[in-house]
Structure formats: structure tokens, C-alpha cells
Amino acid sequence: MNDLIAVGLDGSAESVAAAHWAAREALLRGVPLHLVHAEEWSSPRAVPVPTADVRRPWSQALLTEAAEALRTAHPQLDVGIRSIDGRPAAVLAHVAANAGMIVLGSRGLGTLMGFVLGSVGMAVIQATVRPVVVVRASEDAVPHPVSRHASRDLVVGIDTSKPCDALLTFAFEEAARRACALHVLHSWSPPPLVGYGGAYEPRIHAQLEMSAKAALDDVLGPWRVKYPAVAVTSRASAGHAATELVDRSSEAGLMVVGRRIRQSPIGAHIGPVAHAVLHHAKGPVAVIAHA
């Protein structure tokens, strides 16, 4: 069941952008695309809830119109539609479990406040181990050719001190599929005493930087061998990982970040770096769950 891409569609500009992005990704992978609409109808006690006979034609029209637009733009695309009653977060998380990827829209608030993923998108990311891609309402809604979808480079952020095989597998396979370059970023934190006395000396800082770059190259070595056709650049820099990734997001065709699969006392979470990138990156973001 993983040989398909699912997209959550609610009629918003963001979800339409997500559908067009997902359509091009499905064509690159040679898999079907499923458009899914999920909605839980409720209202104050005094206001009657629309019956299923009223809701179903509206949902069906929404999905049918979107599917027809995608088929017109991409005649070779296999598009399926499905409307499900239920809480969107729970429905989409269930759909994601049976898909190779799920694509969602994200609402933009401008350059100062960035973007809002929303409770549904956040809940889906926390609930599934499948790749989740978040798309902005931008030029990605325009039905341009697949080749343009694949033209811009990929950027992935990794932590060399922890396992990241799932993250690198996704990034390298996606770059190979798109025939584009892959930029791998690693941000490292200087020791606590750097900035005080002799520890601030440029020579020491340069040595630390060289050590971080060497560790990054060691991690990437086997992947360069496994994917020789992928042009890879790597950079290790001192600073905050989220800041570095967000700064690079405007030039990336896809930003790839990881989410550790772990539970906190208050439930699953996605980590501060992924959270910041999801809310402030300027282009599509893929979140990859890994150990």
C-alpha cells in the first residue's frame, strides 16, 4: 500500500498547492495520487449539523474538480479521490500509514511571523512515521511541468552525532529521482568556553570547524559511493541549525529535516529544529521520522 502519494484536500489555496506539488512528485515516482478530504461536522446545540446527504455532494464536488484539474495538467497521472467523515488529523494520520508519502498545505502569515502549519498538520507529523511534506500556497499551485518541479536543488540538515540513515536515504533518493544536487548541512555548537580568552583564538575555531567538516564527510562517504550520480556539497558551520536551514530554504526545491521517533511525557513531538523550519522555511519541507 506504500506505492502511492496521498494529499489532504480541504479546498483552501494551501491544499490546492499541496495537490499540485504531490501530483508532480507522484509522476516522478511513477505512483498513483490519492486526494483525501476529511471533515468532522459539529456545531453549537442550537444549530443543526448538515446531514450526510448535504455534505457528501459538496465533498465529492471538491475532490472531483481538483482531480479533473490535475488530470488536465498531467494526463498520464493516476488520480484517486476519497471523502472520509472524521477528525481530519486522525483520518489523515491513518491515510499516511498506508501511503509512501502524505502532502499537506501550510498557511503563510508573512515574512515576520513565517508560516503556520496548524494543529492538523502538526498532529499528522507526530502520529505517522511516513514522510510528510508541507507545501506553501505559492507558485507550487501552478500546473507547471514536472521538469521544473525537479530543477531546484535539495537541502538536508543532519546531526552527525546521531544515526540519520533514514533521513539521508530519503534525501539521496529524492535528489537522484530529480537529477538535482544535494546540499548537506551540519551545524555545530562551539564548546562553552569558546568566546573567552585563548579559546576564542581563530586557530582553535578553525580546528573545531575542520573537525566538524571531517565528521560530516565521514558520514557522507558511503552515500557518495552508493549514489555516484548525485552531486553532493557539504557544509559544517558553527551556529543554530534551524537558522542555517531557514536561510537556505528560499533557494531549495525541497528542504529535508528529521524528526526523532520518541515520546515525551506530554506525547510525541517533532523537535525544535524541525518545528522552526516548518514554521519559517520559504518552500516545501519534508519531515522524515527516524530513530
DSSP letters for 195-245: TSGGGG-HHHHHHHHHHHHHHHHHHHHHHHHH-TTS-EEEEEEES-HHHHH
Domain boundary residue, one of 124, 146, 168: 146
Do 135 and 193 lie in a common domain?
no
Do 84 and 31 lie in a common domain?
yes
Do 9 and 121 lie in a common domain?
yes
Average pLDDT of every residue of the chain: 84
Comparing CA positions, the residue from 187, 158, 181, 188 lying closest to residue 254 is: 181
Do 2 and 134 lie in a common domain?
yes
Number of domains in the chain: 2
Alpha carbon distance 86, 84 (integer Å)? 6
The residues that bridge with 38 in the sheet, in sequence order, are 84
pLDDT digits (tens, 9 = 90+) for 119-129: 788 889 989 99
The residues that bridge with 76 in the sheet, in sequence order, are none
Domain boundary residue, one of 146, 171, 188: 146
Which of these ranges, 8-12, 34-38, 134-138, 264-268, has the smallest mean pLDDT? 264-268
Do 60 and 193 lie in a common domain?
no
Q: What is the pLDDT of residue 193?
A: 58
pLDDT digits (tens, 9 = 90+) for 75-120: 999 999 999 988 888 999 999 999 999 999 987 544 433 444 567 8
Rounded to whole angstroms, the maximal C-alpha distance in the chain is 75
Q: Is the dihedral of CA 169, 227, 212, 152 positive or negative?
A: negative
List the CATH number of the domain containing 20. Answer: 3.40.50.620
Do 274 and 189 lie in a common domain?
yes
Do 81 and 23 lie in a common domain?
yes
Task: Give the angle subtended at the CA of 272 by the CAs of 267 and 276, to the nearest 5°.
Answer: 120
Domain that holds residue 169: 150-291
Q: How far does the chain reach from its first CA to its final CA, in angstroms?
A: 23
Which of these ranges, 42-46, 97-101, 145-149, 267-271, has the smallest mean pLDDT? 42-46
